[in-house]
Amino acid sequence: MRNIILLLLFIPIQSYSDMSECMNIPNQDKKNFCMASYSGSSTFCEKIKNFENRTHCMRMVVSKQRIMQYSTIKPKEEKEGE
């Protein structure tokens, strides 16, 4: 249980400045998690061998996809006189 809590606290703290840094990560699971966080694709999550990390990755990707799909774009307000 303690490992799960540490895992959930550690993963969101990890951040990468751009996708090219993901390519330099030697650990394949971390590399695929990084790629999934940028691309929003579950394809990279499916390559993760650790079940807990894969599940966390899938939830993150689904959440990101829902935000992108269901968020509404506000139209630009038109100024009077133009």
17 within 8 A of 25, measured Cβ to Cβ: no
Task: Write down the domain spans for the chain.
Answer: 24-74
- Packing angle of the helix pair 51-70, 28-39 (nearest 10 deg): 10
Which pLDDT tens digit goes with each residue over 34-72? Answer: 998 888 888 999 999 999 999 999 999 998 888 888 877
In eight-state DSSP terms, residue 50 is S
| Rounded CA separation 39/43 (Å) | 9
Question: Which pTM does this prediction carry?
Answer: 0.63
pLDDT in tens, 1-41: 555 554 444 444 455 567 788 888 999 999 999 998 888 88
Secondary element (H or E) of residue 53: helix 51-70
